Amino acid sequence: MQTDTILLAQLNPIVGDIEYNYNKAVDYLNCAKAQGIKFVVYPELFLLGYPPIDLIERYPLIVEENIIYLEKFAKQCVGTSALIGFCEFNKSDRGKKYYNSVAFIQDGVIKKIIRKSLLPVYSEFSEARYFEAAPFVSSQRIVEFNDCRVGVVICEESWNDDTFFKKPMYSFDPVEILVKEQKPDFIINLSASPTRAKKEQLLNNMLSHCAKKYSTPILYVNQTGSTDCITFCGASRAYGSNGELIARAKSYEEDFFAIVPYKSKKNRIEPLPNGVEKTLNSQKEFTLDYDWDLERTYLTITNAIKDYFEKNGFKRAVLGLSGGLDSSCCAYLLACALGPKNVLGVSMPSKITSAQSKSDAKELANNLGINFFEIPIKDMVDASLSTFNKLFDEIQTKWGDYRYKEPLTFDNIQARSRAMILWGVSNEFSSTIPIATSDKSELYMGYATINGDMSGGFAPVCDVTKTKLFALARWMNNNALIKNAIPEAVLIKPPGAELAINPKTGKPLLAEEALMPYEFLDEVIWRLENLQQKAQEMLKEKFLYEKTHKLSFENKKMWLDKFAKRVQFAQFKWSIMPPGPIVDSRSIVRAEYIQPIASKLKF
Amino acid sequence: MQTDTILLAQLNPIVGDIEYNYNKAVDYLNCAKAQGIKFVVYPELFLLGYPPIDLIERYPLIVEENIIYLEKFAKQCVGTSALIGFCEFNKSDRGKKYYNSVAFIQDGVIKKIIRKSLLPVYSEFSEARYFEAAPFVSSQRIVEFNDCRVGVVICEESWNDDTFFKKPMYSFDPVEILVKEQKPDFIINLSASPTRAKKEQLLNNMLSHCAKKYSTPILYVNQTGSTDCITFCGASRAYGSNGELIARAKSYEEDFFAIVPYKSKKNRIEPLPNGVEKTLNSQKEFTLDYDWDLERTYLTITNAIKDYFEKNGFKRAVLGLSGGLDSSCCAYLLACALGPKNVLGVSMPSKITSAQSKSDAKELANNLGINFFEIPIKDMVDASLSTFNKLFDEIQTKWGDYRYKEPLTFDNIQARSRAMILWGVSNEFSSTIPIATSDKSELYMGYATINGDMSGGFAPVCDVTKTKLFALARWMNNNALIKNAIPEAVLIKPPGAELAINPKTGKPLLAEEALMPYEFLDEVIWRLENLQQKAQEMLKEKFLYEKTHKLSFENKKMWLDKFAKRVQFAQFKWSIMPPGPIVDSRSIVRAEYIQPIASKLKF
């Protein structure tokens, strides 16, 4: 009998699918029982699934159902106790409809209910929309297990230590009160904490700091899996009373993890994605060294793709292969996430497409083992052009003054004909969705075509900048499930949409000619997102690009002005971008960042 | 000298355009001075513009600028005092970055700063994302004017009276504390309160209740104008100490309103949109009587269109005219909002389009006086079809098992060819954007084509159900700026996309054949949004449709099941819908409602 052992049930729920979540919980409970384990801990809000966003606002039946299944689950917990997150109705005469709660179940009965007091409302979090913040009562946070007094906190409640954070967000620290008033033998934190660049170090340092500060072991149980834009990396863990890591579960997958936390005994410690343990200091300035974040990026995106497809019942992906970096990386990630036979790459050359691009696309597809076909778009483009020109000449009679001298119409006909083909495939073949291949740098610039390459059901690399995507491509060639898929030619050619000819060079217009060097652009994005730096400050500071290139003040200012102008206009496009995984420390993914379109930005 | 007069400056700010907002504030201040008015009150957060959403998270320079302009503005307030909303940095060592504050300015100096204590986080509100809720200190809420003690509250702080609301949202009532502790002579509420169906009555009853309960006059200053999906209706007003309405500014436009509030003297009372004063009770069940809400709906949408275009620098709209209800209503609303010469309707018939549809489209355009052209899409459809078929036959060799027997491919090629033409116009003619014509009923059903009719820069009727849109069409014929534009034929023909032939009838498939009767569907939507009712409850209750039609239990259940299934799948489409104005009491507009796509709804 493992009377002193706790099972961390690191699981992947589906939001709103209570029966599915319940069955997972029971499976793990039964495994625990079979091994004589007496205590199982599940993630925050597990029975409902995190994050519900507004689902529970409109469908309270789901919450009723999660209560019914909680009671059903309680009856199973005979001989083995459990802490499990669920959504509770707020029956008082004030406040929001629900609580984000945890049930402590013992001997088949719900012995205690613990309600979350600190509700995050920032970035990808919106808990106060539907949850009421409960007053913090420390005695309510103690449960008994194996003669230990166990303190229970929920996710955000561990993130407010004013000896760790310079500016804590909330007015009190639940852990501090809990330790001072109740002196628990150890603390359990039930979480649903999404992955982000640099967050692992923060989490690790914070939990370790806290365990040491209070000489109290901490057990942290996280969920795994993805819901739309948000990915949970698992990596549940325990820290001993000296702040030392004594156990860690797998990253990015479900894990059944038995542990004796309060004896500070070393346990199974699973590896993290390569590099994420590096110090925070190494990312205090912009670099092109992305090594520390590439495995995590790869795992985040492939998990996000996998769960987006599985949880929505989609099976196959179709995307255009241009022979360029974005579509090559998307195809790579899809092939690894869904299996090559479920991916269809279509090369759709126009008269601007080079022979090299066509052969690069084909070679990539062959290397990945995905389905591949080539279909020229000439007939569609010609039919559109002749239809357009007839109409435009008529419109000209009324709106002649407004006709552009150098319109982007032809460029975009190509991008839109391609998207039309992909959506056609989606209409013709079951459970198949098109993929939007835009990357973060291009999205910032609004350098993507609405109903063209911006269009699709999911956008895998929408939170990866171009310079990082190059690094990811090389990393995948060496480390992904399938090796060496992206041809070297793709990695060395300068990015370009191949939608227009540059009159100055007579060759297809390159993205950096139309925009600015990606190395410079990506640093602007990095400074804006991470430091909220102003253009005035950026003008004063030396960019990485300036270490290897001569750049005049006027030119730098011109690029920054162009950046501001293009980002302003891009809001219009961001508002109709499909969802994609949040990867970076900050993003423009809809689940995190929404700016009014009819607003004026200034930086 | 009007020493006892207060000016309500009911203005329309642009979020983030501090200089623009400042100039408006100064204009009104100068007008007040010229008339000897000694006190001007502006809306909540006026210098910054409401709602900033995440703009201020990434661009703190905007907040710095609003502080600089506040100081500049203070210097102008010599001889005339002001209360003005602005965004303040939270310089304390805890909490969110900013406060939602009001400055009281007298003799050219900021005399007092009032910080909002109750921050709404629900529906279209997200204030706690970036604002810190300030502790409520009643003495901090009193300013002196003309020997009166004036109590100041900010928007939401008036919405928590537990003798008015059954379940107040917050733990304390700022107005109650303010009155009890400070006994103000009157209260001023600075607001940025969006319009919604039925909200006027709620607001009126609540403010009147509160004035009477405390025998204290209340002055309520609201902003006007639209930002993306959110429209502010103005209608600032005052209630005397018996709860009687003594003044009301214009609805849906800026207004310069001088008032002596604390003498309970009747003043200018501007009319509200027709019908909105009707009792709440009349809308406690679903009816097809929309009369009480049509003028408000028209004003909300036309204002939203106008501001979306003006604030974003767009000038012209282009849309497809099918001769159906949705596109006819959109063209109507656009012509009234932007002027007919700035609207371009394009009839894009395919082989399924009836002669009647074509002539209806043309007649509508003529009646509205908008630009109109017809261009057949046959060549584009043919080119797509032949390209598709060649590709599909190749794909069939690999994915033969997954090919649909009855795919929607051909239907959607038509819708997408049309959208391609409209985006082409947008690329060819400056400051011109395509309009998405989908209505709320169809969006619920996912009965709209991605990159087709769902596509555009703005979606004017995305929060108007089909039965209401019929009523609005008739209302506009009688009451809009332009009269009798929609041909009777459009109003009497059953809706249909004209994308496919119904094999049973040999005629174009009607929407109600593909879905369910709109009268039934719209009641399901109404019950779900307003009552959060479950299917089980809906099955028990008698629908309006059932009063005039025989409907078996099985058939009703089948429709409800279909509803649930289609809404589940529609999440995928909602996530890429363009923004459009919130009109109803509840909506699926992105600014209000977001459900995880990878979630399971149950109702």
* Chain segment A105-130, per-residue pLDDT in tens: 999 999 999 999 999 999 999 999 99
Residue A281 has pLDDT above 80, yes or no: no
- What's the pLDDT score for residue A282? 58
pLDDT for B24 equals: 98
* 3-class DSSP assignment, residue B112: strand
B68 touches chain A (CB under 8 A): no
Q: A330 with A461, same domain?
A: yes
Using an 8 Å Cβ cutoff, are A582 and A226 in contact?
Answer: no
B590 pLDDT more than 70: yes
Tell me which H or E stretch contains A530. helix A518-531
Shared domain for A344 and A475, answered yes or no, is yes
DSSP per-residue letters across B404-466: -SS-SHHHHHHHHHHHHHHHHHHHHBTTEEEB----HHHHHTT-S-TTTTT-SSB-TTTTS-H
pLDDT category at A4 given cuts 50, 70, 90 is confident
Q: Which of A61, A451, A572 sits opposite B534 (nearest CB)?
A: A61
DSSP reduced 3-state for A449 = coil
**Is A402 close to B431, i.e. CB distance below 8 A?**
yes
Residue B165 has pLDDT above 70, yes or no: yes
* Catalytic residue chosen out of the listed positions A77, A87, A88, A116: A116
Residue B265 has pLDDT above 80, yes or no: no
- Percent pLDDT > 90 in chain B is 92
Q: Is the pLDDT of residue A1 over 60?
A: no
The mean pLDDT value for B397-414 works out to: 94
Per-residue pLDDT, A277: 85
pLDDT score, position B284: 81
Which among A252, A270, A288 is the end of a domain? A270
Higher pLDDT, B1 or A162: A162
pLDDT of residue B263: 67
Q: Answer yes or no: do B221 and B307 share one domain.
A: no
Which band of pLDDT confidence, cut at 50, 70 and 90, is reported for residue A373?
very high
Determine the pLDDT at residue B496: 87
B299 and B221 share one domain: no
Percent of chain A scored above 90 by pLDDT?
93
* B237-239 and B218-221 strand pairing: antiparallel
DSSP for B275-319, written as a single string: TTTS-GGGGSS--S--HHHHHHHHHHHHHHHHHHHHHHT--EEEE
Tens of pLDDT, residue by residue over B273-294, are 999 987 666 568 999 999 999 9
Tell me if B313 is assigned to some domain.
Answer: yes
Instruction: State percent of chain A over pLDDT 70.
Output: 98
Q: Are residues A174 and A83 in the same domain?
A: yes
A68 in reach of chain B (CB within 8 A): no
Q: Cα(B377)–Cα(B358) distance, rounded to whole angstroms?
A: 13
Whether B267 and B416 share a structural domain: no
pLDDT of residue A499: 86
Looking at residues A259-264, what average pLDDT do you find?
72
CA distance A441 to A446: 9
Distance CA B87, CA B98 (A): 7
Eight-state DSSP code of residue A435? B
User: Does B57 map to a domain?
Assistant: yes
pLDDT higher than threshold 90 for residue A279: no
CA-based nearest residue to B275, from B247, B298, B297, B295: B295
Average of pLDDT values for A376-397? 97
Q: Mind listing the pLDDT tens digit for each residue in A461-490? A: 999 999 999 999 999 999 999 999 999 999
- In this structure, what token pair is assigned to residue A295? 């495995």
pLDDT number for residue B59: 96
Smallest CA–CA distance from B392 into chain A, residue: A425
CA distances for B338 relative to B301, B316, B395, B486, angstroms: 12, 8, 47, 18
Cβ separation A58–B421 shorter than 8 A: no
Distance from CA of A123 to the nearest CA of B (A): 8
Give the catalytic positions of B in this structure: 44, 116, 155
| Res A87: pLDDT | 98
Average pLDDT over residues A275-290: 82
Query: Dihedrals φ, ψ of B388, to 5°?
Result: -60, -50
Which among A286, A275, A227 has a CA at the least distance from the CA of A251? A275
Distance from CA of A259 to the nearest CA of B (A): 32
Half-sphere exposure of B250 (CA within 13 A, CB side): 13
Say yes or no: B115 and B89 in one domain: yes
Q: In this structure, are B338 and B218 located in the same domain?
A: no
* Confidence band of A380 (pLDDT split at 50, 70, 90): very high
A residues 30..49 contacting B (CB < 8 A): 49
CA separation for the pair A160, B442 (Å, rounded): 46
Distance from CA of A551 to the nearest CA of B (A): 25
pLDDT in the model for residue A186: 95
- Burial label for A238, CB within 10 Å (0-12, 13-18, 19+), is buried
- The answer to whether residue A116 is catalytic is yes
Residues recorded for chain A: 603
Q: What is the pLDDT of residues A60-86, one digit of tens each?
A: 999 999 999 999 999 999 999 999 999
Contacts with A, B 136-165, CB within 8 Å: 162
Interface probe for B, chosen from A310, A380, A527 (most Cβ of B below 10 Å), is A380
- Rounded to two decimals, the ipTM of the complex is 0.95
Among B441, B468, B501, residue at a domain's last position: B501
Q: Give the closest residue to B418 by CA, choosing from B395, B437, B404, B401.
A: B437
pLDDT digits (tens, 9 = 90+) for B145-160: 988 999 999 999 999 9
Cβ distance A455 to B457 less than 8 Å, yes or no, reads: no
pLDDT at A484: 97
CA separation, residue B127 to residues A108, B87, B141, B192 (Å): 42, 12, 20, 12
Q: Are B6 and B236 in contact (CB under 8 A)?
A: no
Provide, as residue numbers in chain B, all residues whose Cβ is less than 8 Å from the Cβ of A423. Answer: 412, 416, 450-451
Q: In this predicted structure, what is the pLDDT of residue A271?
A: 96
In chain B, % of residues over pLDDT 70: 98
Minimum CA–CA partner of A315 in chain B: B402
CB contacts, 8 Å: B63 with chain A: none
- B432 and A402: CB-CB below 8 Å? yes
Residue B511 lies in a domain: no
**Contact predicate A574/A443, CB 8 Å:** yes
Q: Could you read off the pLDDT of B383-397 as tens digits, one per residue?
A: 999 999 999 999 999
How many folded domains does chain B comprise? 2
Q: What is the pTM of this model?
A: 0.97
User: From the list B166, B171, B572, which residue is nearest A457 (CB)?
Assistant: B572
The nearest CA of chain B is from the CA of A268 a distance in Å of 32
Specify the pLDDT at position B18. 98
pLDDT score of A72: 98
Q: Is the pLDDT of residue B178 over 90?
A: yes
Tell which wins on pLDDT, B326 or B261: B326
Question: Residues B261, B148: one domain?
Answer: yes
The answer to whether the beta carbons of residues A221 and A42 sit under 8 Å apart is: yes
pLDDT band, very low/low/confident/very high, at A263 (cuts 50, 70, 90): low
Tens of pLDDT, residues B48-106:
999 999 999 999 999 999 999 999 999 999 999 999 999 999 999 999 999 999 999 99
Q: Residue A375 corresponds to which tokens in the numbers above?
A: 């279909």
Render the burial of A266-278: b for 16+ CB within 10 Å, e for the rest: ebeebebbbbbee
Which domain does B373 fall in, by range?
A: 289-501
Is A579 inside any structural domain?
no
Contact B168 A602 (CB under 8 A): no
Answer yes or no: do A258 and A326 share one domain. no
Q: Does A91 touch chain B (CB under 8 A)?
A: no
Q: Looking at residue A266, what is its pLDDT? A: 77
Longest dimension (CA), chain A: 88
- Give CA–CA dist B203/B528, Å, rounded: 23
SS (H, E, C) A210-245: HHHHCCCCEEEECCEEEECCEEEEECCEEECCCCCE
B413: pLDDT confidence band, cut at 50, 70 and 90? very high
pLDDT at position B279 is 67
Q: Which of A30-44, A528-542, B434-448, B503-517 is the least confident region? A: B503-517
Residue A542 has pLDDT above 80, yes or no: yes
- The DSSP secondary structure of A68-134, one letter per residue, reads HHHHHHHHH-SSSEEEEEEEEE--SSSS-SEEEEEEEEETTEEEEEEE-----EETTEEGGGTBPPP
pLDDT of A44 reads 98
Query: Comparing C-alpha atoms, which of B404, B389, B417, B351 is closest to residue A419?
Result: B417
What digits encode the pLDDT tens for the residues A548-580?
A: 999 999 999 999 999 999 999 999 899 999 999
Residue B235 phi, psi dihedral angles, 5° rounding: 55, 40
CA atoms of B462 and B442, how far apart (whole Å): 9
Residue of B535, B596, B405, B558 lying closest to A312 (CA atoms)? B596
Could you tell me if residue B549 is inside a domain? Answer: no
Task: Find the mean pLDDT for residues A419-431.
Answer: 97
Task: Return the CATH number at B385.
Answer: 3.40.50.620
Are residues B246 and B120 both part of a single domain? Answer: yes
Of A581, A585, A474, A483, whose CA–CA distance to A529 is shortest? A585
| Max CA pair span of chain B | 88
φ, ψ (nearest 5 deg) of residue B547:
-75, -25
Structure tokens at B494: 């059953």
Domain boundary among B446, B480, B501: B501
The answer to whether position B190 is within a domain reads yes
Scanning the structure block, which residue is given the tokens 């589906």?
A14
Q: At A262, is the pLDDT very low, low, confident or very high (cuts 50, 70, 90)?
A: low
Q: Residue B370: its pLDDT value, please?
A: 98
Instruction: Average the pLDDT over each of A255-264, A425-434, B244-253 and give the range with the smallest value.
Output: A255-264
Q: For testing the chain A interface, which of B428, B588, B590 should be mutated: the one with the most A CBs within 10 Å?
A: B428
Sign of CA dihedral A177, A181, A186, A188: negative
Binned at pLDDT 50, 70 and 90, residue A455 comes out as: very high
**CATH number of the domain enclosing B161:** 3.60.110.10
Within-domain flag for B340: yes
B441 assigned to some structural domain: yes
Chain A positions touching B54 (Cβ under 8 A) are 593-595
Instruction: Indicate if A98 and A194 belong to the same structural domain.
Output: yes
